[in-house]
Every structure is written in structure tokens, then in C-alpha cells.
Chains A and B, each alone.
Chain A
């Protein structure tokens, strides 16, 4: 069964450093998403991406964040200058079509620890 993969599984970084989280969505999917879950809290939407542009973003997704689809398979989330409060589990997801029509498949997540 096709699945979304994410690397690395765990990333430790120092405050102020840049990090790039990587995702390989399911190959025939056209819509891509990033979510995050701070420990003990709910899963929060960050951004959706379609046709090489951001289709929706949340208040969390400020200028410190950016997304890119550098090639036909990868989808990345960059945090330019990490803060302690960026420590969370980051989930990538993809869907074949719009969320109401097809389900979002989630990857296993990258645990980001900012020290």
C-alpha cells in the first residue's frame, strides 16, 4: 500500500538554526499539507500546497516557515530560525484531490526538538 514517508524521524537543533523537514507524498497525489502537534496538544494545520503554490495557511505559518516542492517527489518544510516553541511532531500529509473528496494520508512524523 502506498504511504507518505518523512525524514528524519527525529531532528535535534539549536535555537536560531534553520531546519528542513522532508516528505515524500504518495506519487499520484496532488495536494500536500503540513501539520504539527505540540506535546499534549491537538494536531494543528500549518499549510496546504497545490499546483506549486500555497493554497491555505494558518496563523502559525508565519514568515519563519516556507514550503517547497523542489522536484517531482519531495515536499519540504523549512523553518528559518527555530525557536523553543517550534518543538513538536511535524506531520506531512497528501491527498489525491480536495480534502472533502479524498482522504488525507499522513506520514509517521518528524519529531523536532529545539534546544
Chain B
């Protein structure tokens, strides 16, 4: 079952523009959300997270927005750089759990 959904398998953005990656979740028990970035032949690398008590968290060029009523979160990258080209995974966990539940990922390509 897909408790965390990333409906866009790929996204192409020009360098300097904004990249917006979207994620939806179905499990109401999820209250902590994360974004991971993955390059080929490497493991996922933590990028940014947000607790359900917040609706926004910012770290440099990366901002995550959470809309709890819509069960939706998004990752904004501004400005996008060619080095940002990677697969981005949305993940979620619940208050009582250890497991990260991942989406299928969105492959971001930032073109010069």
C-alpha cells in the first residue's frame, strides 16, 4: 500500500529557477516528514524535515511546506543548481514508530 505518494516520477527545471517537488500521504498517524536526496550508487542523504506542529521549515535554498488538512507536503529548491540533479524521496514516520515510509521518488534534472 502506498501510504506516501510522489505522483511525479520526474521533473526538469532550468538552473536558477524554482524546483517544486510534491508528496501526498494517507496515514493520519504520520506526524514527522523528511526529504532525502539520492545520487546513483549512493544511499539516501537527509535533506530537511518538518514536524506536524509546523507548516514550514527552511534551510538555505530548501524549504519544506506542510499542509496537514490536505495531507500534502512540498519541497521547494530556490535557486535550483545542476548539482541538485538527483532523485528526491519524501518519507514519513509516526509518533510511535521507528520506520521511515518512503515515496517512490521524483527524479529532478536541473539543466544549465
- Interface set of A (CB-CB < 8 Å, partner B): 4, 31, 33, 35, 41-45, 48, 50, 55-56, 58, 91, 93, 98-100, 103-109
Q: Known contacts being A55-B98, A106-B45, is A42 close to B93, with CB within 8 Å? A: no
Tally of A-B residue pairs with Cβ under 8 A?
Answer: 62
Q: Which of B5-61 contact A (CB under 8 A)?
A: 32, 34, 36, 41-46, 49, 51
* Residue B101 CB within 8 A of the other chain: yes
In this complex, what residue of B is CB-closest to A109?
B43
For chain B, give the interface size range. 20 to 34
Asked whether B93 lies within 8 Å of A99 as measured between CB atoms, the reply is yes
Asked whether A42 lies within 8 Å of B103 as measured between CB atoms, the reply is yes
* Residue B102 CB within 8 A of the other chain: yes
- Interface set of B (CB-CB < 8 Å, partner A): 2, 4, 32, 34, 36, 41-46, 49, 51, 89, 91, 93, 95, 97-105
